[in-house]
Structure 1
Amino acid sequence: MLKSIRTRLTLAFVSLAIVPLLVVGVVLSVKNYAALQQQALQEQQSHAQRISTTVEAFVRELERELVLLSKIYGFSRAGGEEQKWILDELLSYENRFEELILIEVDGTELIHRHRTRIIPEDSLTSRLNDPAFSGPTSTGRSYFGPVHFDPANGEPLMTIAVPVESPMTGMIEGVLVGEARLKKVWELLASLPVPSGETVFIVDSAGEVVGHPNPSVVLRGTHFTLPDNHLGITTGLGGEEVVLAAERIELNEQFLYVVAQRPVSEVLALARSIVGITLLLVLLALVAAVILSILAIGNIISPLRSLAAVAREIRQGDLSRRVELDRDDEVGELALAFNAMTDRLQVSMEGMAKEIEEREREIEVRKRAEEALRENRAMLQQILDTLPQSIFWKDLESVYQGCNLVCASDLGLHDPELIKGKTDFDLLWLREEAEAYRADDREVISGKKAKRHIIEPLQQTDGTRLWVDTTKVPLLDGQGNVYGILGVYEDITERKKNEEEREKLERQVRQSQKMEAIGTLAGGIAHDFNNILSIILGYNELAMLDIDPAKRLQNLEEVRKGAERARDLVRQILAFSRKTDQERQPLQISLIIKETLKMLRSSIPTTIEIRQNIASNSRVMADSTQIHQVIMNLCTNAYQVMRETGGTLAVSLTEIDIGEGEYGYADLHPGRYLRLEVSDTGCGIDPAIRDKIFEPYFTTKPQGEGTGMGLAVVHGIVKSHKGYLSVYSEPGKGTSFHVYLPVTETEPASEPETPVSEVLIGNGERILFVDDEEQITRIAQSMLKNNGYQVTACSSGVQALEEFRRHPDQFDLVITDMTMPHMTGIDLARQILAVNPALPVILCTGQSELVNREIALDMGCCAYLNKPILKQTLLRAVQKALVGK
């Protein structure tokens, strides 16, 4: 341990000494390095600029010599010999040009003079396509060609061409071309005073080195790619890392680059020296820190050694030993604290035996308590197992922590302990049921309140599905926090069956009430039908007798109207006598009242006056069949009590607003309601029996005239629509029934608009039409053939199936009646669709208890039509089915 303290202290001293120096050294080194690097870049750029200026001045001076010669007055007018003499003089002056050429305006060489050899007159050629000629003549400016090398001696040359202009007109009369010798540029580069290690060379726009202090670099065709950044540290000409600067010389369209480079190792040598000096200083500081730390640590460690020796003796059991140090520093304070600690340790050790004895006694008491807890838990489990209800409990994650024996048996577990750790998704139930159970758990946990009477299904191990009534309550700790859920459920399958049976009986009762009302109206219905038939037969006879086509058409139109009235009457009867309840939807009951009163009018004696006051067209969310039944039952009861004496049947519909706690409407929520009032002027109701009139099977009518269920059914329908039914009666004056139904703002689903005129002509499609009614078959066949379809007619489902099996690919569409002997339309459709599921089938029916629109569409039919079917309706359905196919 002493070694580790010594080491840590030594490291601490060394770190305190070396870290500041190291930080300062690194910062200075980085700054100096960056400054020297920037200085080197600026120097290289300055060298490159200076040399590029010199090279450009040299080339421009050659250009000026040519320009001055071309502008000498009389040069263009001088004779050929005189011009040759002038060009030879320019060639011999400092040997700056290798050759000079004077080209005429048509591109033909006029004079060609060379520095070292004679050019014969017959070797003069055309320079019409030479850029040295076309450049100056087209732009009026000097032309600079790319650097090239003399094949004889490898000397670099550059073509410089200037236009020769007439001194009088300024027109271009020719071009003066000179091959400038750039060897002097080599000599210039070699003679430049540059820092040690620096190299300056020239690169053309193609990347070829055209100038270098060492001519061999140029002569061997060295290529150098300039970096995108012309100033920086990059790879140099020889492949080493260099500080490089490049300056561009612009000679009209021709570019040259003067590049100055210097190895990084030479440029940054000073920076490396500074880094070395810094490291040396850090090393010296480290040595000094080590020496000082050894001296300081020795002074600290010595008393600690004495303290450690006493501690070892105490560890071996000698609690009487104490540290003897007379120091007034922290080590002396540590020795005093150590001695005080030893004193307390000695006291603690003496009292520890007593403490151990007390702990042993506490452990014994705890064991007895745990044993009692286990016994109580076992007794509680026995109590839970004897209860007939199923009980379970979960944690906050909906993981089961236990259950009683009944619950375990329901779940197919022979031991309640097996449910621990499972979730609803691990048990027998369907996933959607498990998700519903989990959702109930979350609601109980988040709300911190019980959820009672959850009616839900439960899957048993044998596949039996029960209905259970579940209650879930949150388990709370002493602070009111939820730590789990307790659930209790009870099998209510039998009760559920009884409720379903009761609902079935109630539906049967309602249906019997409908049939009773239909029986009451039978006479009136027969009266209406006879009137309609009289109209149809009468106008049919007139149509047969009339010779005038216009009158005959008018009589047939009246026949059609009579048939439509008969159709509407049949639909009213069917709607009222429908056995199944309809989906509730926004309903304008004023229309149903008017329709019902119209039907009743022909059945009620003329001694009874019907008065109606329909003052509201608001809607209620209701079942049209049940509302029809309410109105019919109340009106039927009203006229039956006035059958012998006559009187007035008054029906009114008004809209009222019911406020909060308004007297007389205790069972209704505040809001807008429709109030339907049905009143009679009959004998009234005896006050003694007024409270019994809504009880099932209670009736005051003679035996055989009523079932006693009419008002009970009305009361049940009104309550199911969240409404209210009340009665007011005075014996001898009459009775009024008031029905209150809540108004809805929901708009009914809009029906698609039917075009007034449509072109519904077929294109030879083949249709199989099936109906056991021969006249209907002939009518449909004629309608379809007259509109462009091919029709095969069959009078039974069996015949149609045989025809289809003989030619399964012959038909594009099947139209079949529903009610037929031997084979119904739905059976025929199933067998046809089994063979060809893509074949569209339209099902037609006058009335059927076996099928409706939803059933027909679910089994694969594309349309469902109610008879009688008008021509446009039939053709529209056919076209829609064929387009869908």
Structure 2
Amino acid sequence: MNISAPPPDEFIRRIADLEQQVKTLQEQEKRYLPIIENSPDILYRTDLEGKITFISPSVYKLSGYGVEEAIGMNMAQEVYLNPDERQDFIKMLQEHGKVKNFTAQLKKKDGTIWWASTNAHFYYTASGEIEGVEGITRDITEIMKSAKALAQSERSVRSIIDSSPMGVHLYALEGNNSLIFTGYNSAADKILGLSHRQFVGRSIEEVFPELGETEIPDIYRNICVNGKSWQTEQILYQDTNLSGAFEVYAFQTAPDHMAVFFLDITQRKKDQQERELLRKQLLQAQKMEAIGTLAGGIAHDFNNLLMGIQGRVSLALADNQAGSTTYDHLINIESYIRSASELTKQLLGFARGGKYEVKTLDVNHLITESADLFGRTNKEINIHYQLTDDLHSVEADRQQLHQVLLNLYVNSWQAMPDGGKLSIRTTNTSLDPQFASAHGAQSGPFIRIEITDTGIGMEQDVLEKIFEPFFTTKEKSRGTGLGLASVYGIIQNHHGIITAKSSPGVGSTFDIYLPASPNQPPIDSQEKKQTTLAEGTESILLVDDEESVLSVCAEMLTMLGYRVASVQSGIGAVDYYKAHADEIDLVILDMIMPDLDGFETFLHMKKIKPSLTVLLSSGYSLDGKAAQLLAHGSHGFIQKPFRLEELSDKVRHCLDNQSALS
């Protein structure tokens, strides 16, 4: 077979082309070889069996192998930590013709492991057959370490968030400036009582519609953009699904992302309000106690003055005939004294200590009795009863409790000028220790009297002052401002509590709590009126530090036929009694005296003669040391100012009872 040679010119041209191609390749090699040699990544080729046929010098820096050592190494057996990953790599090449960012762990010469990311593809022969694999491998060990650390950090943060007792909401700011709800923790579900899964992917205005009417979404958007944190002690929120008060702390977690930590402080706020209310109630109780002490002192001194006047009037009445002008004047003076005495009784009722004669009472009976009496004269008031049948008895002064009820009825009547409804309800109850302590009472069994009217009601500033003495909203001619003050004092004196609530246009409710005596049957008490003077001839020692009281009482007793010795101090009385104990049948003893008071004077006298007979006399009411003295053996008590008839009855009663015991 003859093959003809190309013409000489064509031959020369072909040689020239080859020379040019060689030159171009040399230039390309010269240009790219430094890049290959200096690349931090490994450029390589393998045959179809996975043996390295070419590798760049950077292999030494990344794996510890030199180029000559690396040539001929089998990738699956000598390079990959896990040969199965090499098989996955080849499978991906076969399926896609190339691999991008294939991550695997490779072995270094010293046995340590490094992470690599590879981009690769097949390369082909001139005839188009696959000759092998060529690719570039990058060291991503530090990236993987960082990713692992970040993943661990994220898991830790997630764990903290999930275990946090605070609720957590996560938001992301999207391109249309929408603040999208992206996540939450379990505490958020528990605190709000909602399933937050339904809210993921929705805007904040969709999740919490009422927030859309506030500045909060804009505050959150600003946090996402500018990274500033925000905290508020209280957000009040209410919609159809949720209501409450919340403490919120919001901060940026990443650009355009933020977290909101929150606590439901509804109960805390309620507790704070209750504590503040209890604090105010305690301050009010302390203030009222201080005012009461002052009022009691004023009433005591005033009663001593009235005693001097009443005594003189009683003596003058005894010297004048009924019907005479002088007699009529004296009767008028006596009526003024009684009016003044009623005022001092109200002051003493308000003051700490003021029970006169304590007995076991049926409060339901007292309520119906007093309310029926009130209703007969105020028919425009419709009275409704809701009284517990098995209401416990109480230990109380009947007259004072009667005064309390009437004062409250009158107060309600004045609040209903056009008539209305007065509701009275009684129940047995037990006081919470915290509530009782705030009002200066002891916890335990109590009865509750609830008196409600449909009157004009009161504003809060008026309500806070209604129990203060001399405070009144009425005209001067219609009230002294002592009615509710005495109510407050009487209830306090009985170790009880009184509270009031009211709203303008709605009405008022007064709640009275009195210590119950569940096992004590009530004792009915009816007052006896003395119509004639009871006289006698016994010997009486009169003890009082007020000269005006001492002199007039001595004259009153003398008028009744008694022999009287007067002493103006406790110490003087003890000395006198020590010398004349066998001659004295009765001691009338003032309670409040300087140096040695009535109680101490009584104890000294009792040591001298244990069987002595004592009638207590005081401008204060029967309480405190006076009550103790009765318990120690005193035979009676008389409240200043007293009339001649009252004095004669009390003295005779003490003397006759003592004679009966002798």
TM-score by length of 1: 0.28
TM-score by length of 2: 0.36
For the pair shown, the structure with the greater C-alpha radius of gyration is: 1
Structure of greater relative contact order (alpha carbons < 8 Å, 6+ residues apart): 2
